[in-house]
Amino acid sequence: MYVRQLSITNIRSIGNFEMTFGAAETAGWHVILGSNGAGKSSVVRSLALVLAGPKEAAALRQNWSTWAKSGTTDGSIKLQLEVGADDIFTGTGRRTKTVSAELGLVPVESTVGPRFDLVAPTKAAQRSLWGTNSGWFSASFGPFRRFTGGDQAFDRLFYSNPRLAPHLSAFGEDVALTEGLRWLRDLRVRELEQSAEEGALLGRLVEFLNNSRLLPHGATIVEVRSEKVIVLDANGAKVAVEQLSDGYRSVLSMIFEILRQMTRSYGATRIMGALNIRNGAVELPGVVAIDEVDAHLHPSWQRDIGPWFTRCFPLVQFVVTTHSPIICRNATTVWRLATPGSDEQSGRVDGIALNRLIHGSILDAYGTEFFGRDVSRSEDSKLMVQELAQLNRRALRSKLEPAERSRLNELRDTLPTVASNVSSD
């Protein structure tokens, strides 16, 4: 399945935001930009909520009053999906090419201030997205992605609420992605027991991960034991994945969970058939939302993470938020949320601004002001630029003193992107 349209109205800080995807641009890397407080996390959570459905969402024990935009009583999240061949409908009735799902906030009487309940105005998605049959793969991840350190109270939800489980970490920092690691270790046990399907899956998954060159500096997964997963790092040391750096853990925990949830949605046999080891790809569709995808990642990994995801999951629709212009370089589409308190309009980025984000340098991207105004240089740097300009003009009119010439050369070396090539004899 793919998202064809997502519409959010009066949810948290968002007044109105809509994303619409053409038929040829669903799978790919869709980037959302916005300042702190603009609502990037709210977009990811809203998408996660409507994908999970109202019945599953009840297990989150959210105070839905905090979801309503201040001063409003009509918050809603609307979703239109394109149905895939692997998405199976529940019960009787005809199969449709698209599915609509909607959640709304409804005021309820209260003596302690405004209160809201989360409801589904229609039951259109009960047989499909919110049903119990296979397919309908989706997952969402918050900015806190790690293997350990979560609240154990959430662990049971991975089993009791299968539609909600892939989206749990999007709703708070108390959720650890422990299940993906446990799943790999369980596959090792199945392998030792010579279980036909799941036992054979582990080796192919490890081969896929290593062939895909996900980990930087040539690091590879060398062993999966019943008690831990071991990585051979760039220095030749064997390290348990829990002991890796934040960047490694952030990415690996997410990848393991995506693969686990794909297996749950499609089944081990379907995953085995969709694993293209030679190309390092899993050829199955779905929707994955990632909040602050750049968190803990070195700039070189920020550059590579989008191409890696879209190469290794070529049929998946990724919706990601970021504060980094580097993440935009592989974008299929880019969206921006209005700065809080401004008269800007949220929506799709196109034209020259889009070209700057995808094809320009980092300074070109910062020049779009989607990352804030006047952020490309410090105040000291601006003074140095002014000094450089003054010395360049002086060099055109007269011969510089040795100290001035030395300072001019120093400034040109320090500020190469603004340095003039003017020379004086």
Burial, 291: exposed, middle or buried (Cβ in 10 Å; 0-12, 13-18, 19+)?
A: buried
Judge contact between 59 and 65, C-beta under 8 A: no
Per-residue pLDDT of the chain (425 residues; tens, 9 = 90+): 999 999 999 999 999 999 999 999 999 999 999 999 999 999 999 999 999 999 999 999 889 999 999 989 899 999 999 999 999 998 878 889 999 999 999 988 765 667 888 999 888 899 999 988 899 999 999 998 877 776 777 777 888 888 999 999 999 888 888 888 888 888 888 888 776 667 788 889 999 988 888 787 888 999 998 888 999 988 899 999 888 888 888 888 899 999 999 999 999 999 999 999 888 899 999 999 999 999 889 998 899 999 999 999 999 999 999 999 999 999 999 999 999 888 889 999 999 999 999 999 887 888 888 887 766 677 888 888 888 888 988 888 888 889 999 998 888 888 877 764 444 33
**Closest Cα to residue 418, out of 392, 400, 399, 379?**
392
Backbone angles phi, psi at 145, to 5 degrees: -115, 115
For the chain, the structural domain boundaries read: 1-174+285-376, 177-274, 389-414
Q: What is the pTM of this model?
A: 0.88
Measured distance CA(289)–CA(139) in Å, rounded: 6
Could you please state the CATH topology (level 3) that the domain comprising 1-174+285-376 is classified under: Rossmann fold (3.40.50)
**CA dist list (Å): 60 to 54, 122, 320:** 10, 21, 22
Measured CA to CA in angstroms, residue 295 lies from 141, 248, 322, 327, 354 at distances of 12, 11, 8, 11, 23
Q: What is the pLDDT of residue 379?
A: 80
Contacts of 252 (CB under 8 A, 6+ apart): 147, 214, 215, 241, 244
Q: Which of 79, 86, 62, 180 is nearest to 136 (CA)?
A: 86
Which pLDDT score, from 0 to 100, does residue 286 have? 98
SS3 33: strand
pLDDT of residue 420: 45
Radius of gyration of the chain measured on its C-alpha atoms: 25
Structure confidence at residue 422 (pLDDT): 40
For residues 208, 210, 214 and 215, what is the CA-based torsion angle, rounded to 10 degrees? 160
d(CA 387, CA 381): 10
Whole-number pLDDT of residue 216: 75
Q: What are phi and psi of 151, to 5 degrees?
A: -75, 120
- The predicted pLDDT at position 317 comes to 99
CB 306, CB 333: distance < 8 Å: no
